[in-house]
Structure 1
Amino acid sequence: MTFADEQDGERRRRAASSPDGANRNESRASKKRANTPEVGHALRAAYQQTINEDIPPDLLDLLGKLG
């Protein structure tokens, strides 16, 4: 049993390929990837801030009751 979305997705995948077999979506993605180290630094900083946050006592209490 196949769904209409699955059949439509197959057509889209085939249509996205160029005649030489290269995928147009991959070339678009590589064009969008600019050298922007600021984004990477911002993501790392946000992650580090999240790691450094204290766990609220209420949550620790709840986790203690569960385990």
Structure 2
Amino acid sequence: MLIVQHIECEGPGYLGDFLHGNGIEYEIARMYKEDQLPDNFDALIVLGGPMNVYEEERYQYLKGLNTTIK
């Protein structure tokens, strides 16, 4: 499972606790640290942030993320 985190102050929180408590492994792609999205994952959770989908010029990683989501 991949969790996409856009900004440092908005992590997986209770969701991470739930996943860990149920033995579900996950990886966090910290986009604010310019992490790369992995090629393979079974499920995708995209956390919120201040950006909008149309702000690809300001947040360059959104192009790749939008393609991944589709």
TM-score per shorter chain, which class? under 0.3
Asked which structure has the greater RCO (Cα within 8 Å, sep 6+), the reply is 2
Give the TM-score taking structure 1 as reference length: 0.20
Task: Give TM-score, length-normalised by structure 2.
Answer: 0.19
Larger radius of gyration: 1
Q: Which has the higher strand share?
A: 2
Structure with the largest fraction of helix: 1
